[in-house]
Amino acid sequence: MKKILVANRGEIALRVMKTAQKMGIKTVAVFSEADRNSPHVKFADEAVCIGPAPSNESYLKGDKIIEVAKQLNADAIHPGYGFLSENASFAELCEEHHIIFIGPHSKTIKIMGSKLAAKEAVKAYDIPMVPGIDEAITNIDKAKSIAHDIGFPVLIKASAGGGGKGMRVVEQAADLESQMNRAISEATSAFGDGSVFIEKYVTSPRHIEIQIMADNHGNILHFFERECSIQRRHQKVVEEAPSCILSPELRTKMGEAAIKVAKSCDYLGAGTVEFLLDADHNFYFLEMNTRLQVEHPVTELISDVDLVALQIKVARGEALQLKQEDLKITGHALELRVYAEDPLNNFLPSVGHLNTYKIPKGHGIRVDNGFKVGMDIPIYYDPMLAKLITYGKTRSEAIQLMIKAIDSYHIEGVQTTLPFGKYVCEHEVFRSGNFDTHFVKNYYAPEILKEQASEEAKIAALVAVKQYLEDQKLLRLPS
C-alpha cells in the first residue's frame, strides 16, 4: 500500500494522513470548494477538488472519489467517519474497482447498518438485547399492542440510521401515535427509509461502547470500553476511557460479547460495539458502528496503540501481532468534542469567522484539530472544529487537566461547546461518576453558563482594575 486517498475532511482527514505519513504512505486529499484552504488539503501529498460545497455534491459523490483514486493510482481509500464511511454501496464500489476499502466488507456494513438485521445476526451468539420486536412496523394499532406488551416507557428507533434521528421516547400510550408518525417522517427524511421498531426504554441508561479490531486471519481483539453517556440530542459530547463503573469482571464480559458480535458478521478492521448499561449493571447490545469512531483517541491513550495504523495494517492483509493478554489499561483519558455550537441556545450550530483560534498545549493534552485562525466555519457540514483530549494517571487528574486545557483554548468569532465541557467537568455528579445519558436533561441549563460567564467577566474586570491601580502607583514613584 503506497498511496491512500482520504475520503473525508477536517480533523479526521488530518488524523489519518499523519499516521499514513509516519508509515511511509503517500496521501491524497479530496475537498469541496468550501474547503479549498483547509489544513488537510495542504498537508496531503496531492489534493483534488471534487465539487461544490454541499456534501451531496462533493464528499458523498462515491463515483467521483473512485475516479480520483484511479487517476492518481491510490491503492486504498480511508473513509474516516461520517459521509461514506458506513455506506455499503461505496464499499462495494471500491471492491469492484479493486481499491482497498480501509474498513469492513460491504456485506458486513449492510448487515450492521440495519438495526434489525444486526439483531438477527447476533441472535445465535447469546448476546443480551433490550426487550422489543424484531421487525419494522408502521401500523399504529400494532405499535400500540406491542408497546402494551413490552410496557411503557418504550423507545421508537429508525431501523436504518443513527445519531438520534428517527428516535422517540414514549412515556404513555396517548403519545404513541403522534411520536410514531414523527419518527417515521424523520427517518424517511434522514435515511430514505421510514421503517422503525419498538423496544423497551431502559431508564437511567449508560452508553458504554467497546472498541474492537479484527484481521483476515481469525484474530479479534477488544481494546476495552469508552463511556459515552454525556450527550445532547442523543449525540455524544464528552467521552472517556475507561468507564469508572465497570468492574474487571463486567469489562471482560462486555469485551467478550463485543468479540462475538464481530464474529457474527465476519468483521474486518476497526469497529465499535455499543451497549446500554442499566442501573443494575445489566448490559444490552445496541448496535455496531462499522468504522473508526470520533472518540477513538481516548482508547489509543489508555491502551497505547495507534488504531489508524492497525486499520491500515489489517486492510493490507497483515495479521494482528498483539494478543488480548498483551493489552492493559494505563491511566485515564477524557475527550471533549469542540463543536461550533451555542450551548446557550440549545446547541444550535454557530457559523462565523475564526478571528482567534489558539489551541492548548502541554503534557497530557492532545488536540485533533481541523481548523486554523482566519478560517470560516462552513454551514454545510458537521460543526465539529476539533477534539480536545486529556490524559492523566487517574480520572480526577484527566478531569483537572481538561478544565485547564479548556481555559487555555481561545476561540473568538463563533460560540463553542468549550464552556459546556468545563461545566460538565466541574459538576459534582460527573466527578462522582454517578451519571447517565440524562445528565444534560437533569443538570444542565443555559442560565447556569450565563451566570458563570457573567461572574468570570466581573472577576476579570476587577483584576484589570487592580492591575491598573498597581501600575499607576509604580508610575508615581519618585525616580
Q: Tell me the catalytic residues.
A: 291
Closest CA to 169 of 182, 187, 156: 156
Residue 166 C-alpha cell reads as: 428517527
User: What is the phi/psi pair of residue 219, to 5°?
Assistant: -95, 130
Q: Which long-range contacts (CB under 8 A, 24 or more apart) does 47-55 make?
A: 48/72, 53/378, 53/380, 54/380, 55/83, 55/380, 55/381
User: What is the phi/psi pair of residue 223, to 5°?
Assistant: -110, 40
Closest CA to 228 of 177, 292, 181, 275: 275
Cα→Cα distances 304→105, 223, 263, 274, 329, Å: 27, 10, 25, 22, 9
Which residues, other chains included, contact 22 with Cβ-Cβ below 8 Å and sequence gap of 6+?
A: 309
Closest CA to 175 of 196, 205, 146, 153: 153
Distance CA 29, CA 17 (A): 9
User: What is the phi/psi pair of residue 460, to 5°?
Assistant: -60, -40
